[in-house]
Structure 1
């Protein structure tokens, strides 16, 4: 897209009578961690043959202003550990970030380790609204016995976990729908948000959503030209998106996207699923889930 993103998003909100947009999939991290993440994406091109240039590689305050200018009412600070003794430290940072950033949904994370139940409970007591889990980066199974008490806490408190568990952009040892199906069998009241609609196992994760009414999916990167060229959403599943209109949440992956933010919203418009569907996905569903006024 060549249109100015601020203008496009303002027109989009007016067109569909949206008070604002809620983005459940954004990343704010300690500076040294964010720079390592960006370095990873700088190397994704040579690894996959597809360049991945970070569009919003800016200082934290610039990124916050960018989201505010875009009309984003609430967003997350998704962090994820890749080794033990990192989760509690990240949770300290996200608690401080949420305290100084009114629009941020207080986010936390965890890793399979003996101390995880303690610091997960502590994060919830301090106001955490959503947890981020990255099966691919963490290289752990969601069925690790060390996580059983963590999942139990989240199920008991109704706290959602936004989980990257699909096999995109590259499969990992523990990615895919099978471990999540077993996890939900064990903890059927667990509120999970499947990142990226489960890319590329779209059908399988939609099937899970049929079985578990508390399962949500986020739209992050799906239907954009970038994703359609590598992991296209199956046209045969398009009509099912209407069925799940109340359980699909808008996500962008800001700032780590290789295209302008407006493309994420334009991709949803191109689905032509109607104004009510767009209002639910871009605002109402997340407002209800996170009990935002």
Structure 2
């Protein structure tokens, strides 16, 4: 598979009804411009940055996802300072209401009132949350968040957590901060972004130890990732076992990726894990989560 035009035939050949991608971003226009500026110019949170493959208007990006058969995806806005999460949540909920394929998503930040707006978001139909510990530069073990994590554990609501040192170290990343949360809330449904790249071993261990911790494939195994943060061959068999056990899900980081969407799927296929593994990762494992 070499182009996005091939994606639909690819998943159809697997006997799937489409793809579920749990790591997609749509942001308010002003925020999106600022995020893309960081990708274009690099900086302390981005290293050298990279060229965004899908630097397109929203309508065109949605059309591409639909053409490829991405049947479900969240918007995954994330707060990086106090006072912005509630407004972002209102935006992402409205976006989901206007976009049938979009899974309602929300975010949070350690601040006064955080439990109130998280509870309100759940009541409004949010199915998945996103926090970015590198960009947000906050400790997930902050006292203000303890009741939030507890609520999400009780409701079984997944949280996509950027917890590893990719693209560069910063914030409260690494396995220990989020491990501290899981020790207090072992039933929390954490989706570890990027398979925990580059701290693969640590986050694979987390997935082994906690029933509801899963890993998303975002940018992993692609030519871009393999050049700088290659996946350890010693973990390949464990990746196969975890995927078949429901603990690996498809993620892409669309649209802010330096390659085509099809290349992410090709990178998964060339691992040689087999069709059952691909079906599990690209549809079945996420189907029961959101």
Q: Give the alignment's TM-score, normalised by structure 2.
A: 0.96
Deviation (angstroms), 1:61? 1.1
Give the conservation status (yes or no) of the 8 Å contact 2:47–2:167: no
Q: 1:263 matched to which residue of 2?
A: 263
Give the conservation status (yes or no) of the 8 Å contact 2:8–2:67: no
Q: 2:275 matched to which residue of 1?
A: 275
Q: 1:121 matched to which residue of 2?
A: 119
Deviation (angstroms), 1:149? 1.2
Decide which moves more: 279-288 or 11-20: 11-20
Give the conservation status (yes or no) of the 8 Å contact 1:132–1:163: yes
Q: Distance in 1 between matches of 2:47 and 2:157?
A: 38
Give the conservation status (yes or no) of the 8 Å contact 2:45–2:170: no
Q: Distance in 2 between matches of 1:47 and 1:180?
A: 19
Q: C-alpha root-mean-square deviation of aligned residues, in Å?
A: 1.4
Q: Distance in 1 between matches of 2:3 and 2:206?
A: 38
Q: Distance in 1 between matches of 2:45 and 2:97?
A: 38
Deviation (angstroms), 1:201? 0.5
Distance 1:50 1:129, change over 3 A: same
Distance 1:47 1:276, change over 3 A: closer
Give CA-to-partner distance per residue, 1:42-87, whole Å, 9 cap, x none.
1128987745001111111111111001110000101111110100
Give the conservation status (yes or no) of the 8 Å contact 2:45–2:168: no
Count of residue pairs the alignment pairs up: 288
Give CA-to-partner distance per residue, 1:170-190, whole Å, 9 cap, x none.
111410001111111011111
Quick one: which of 134, 142, 145 aligns to 1:144?
Answer: 142
Q: 1:134 matched to which residue of 2?
A: 132
Q: Distance in 2 between matches of 1:51 and 1:84?
A: 26
Q: Distance in 1 between matches of 2:86 and 2:3?
A: 39
Quick one: which of 237, 240, 243 aligns to 1:242?
Answer: 240
Distance 1:147 1:233, change over 3 A: same
Q: 1:92 matched to which residue of 2?
A: 90
Matches within 5 A, 1:76-225: 76-225=74-223
Deviation (angstroms), 1:11? 2.4
Give the conservation status (yes or no) of the 8 Å contact 1:45–1:52: no
Deviation (angstroms), 1:15? 2.2
Deviation (angstroms), 1:138? 0.4
Q: Distance in 2 between matches of 1:49 and 1:212?
A: 32
Distance 1:131 1:48, change over 3 A: closer
Q: Distance in 1 between matches of 2:91 and 2:129?
A: 14
Q: Please state whether the residue corresponding to 2:228 is helix, strand or coil.
A: coil
Give the conservation status (yes or no) of the 8 Å contact 1:24–1:286: yes
Q: Distance in 1 between matches of 2:44 and 2:184?
A: 40
Residue ranges of structure 1 left out of the alignment (5+ in a row): none
Decide which moves more: 261-270 or 169-178: 169-178
Q: Give the alignment's TM-score, normalised by structure 1.
A: 0.95
Q: Are residue 4 (structure 1) and residue 3 (structure 2) matched?
A: yes
Q: Distance in 2 between matches of 1:68 and 1:48?
A: 29
Q: Please state whether the residue corresponding to 2:168 is helix, strand or coil.
A: coil
Deviation (angstroms), 1:215? 0.4
Decide which moves more: 165-174 or 44-53: 44-53
Give the conservation status (yes or no) of the 8 Å contact 1:80–1:132: yes
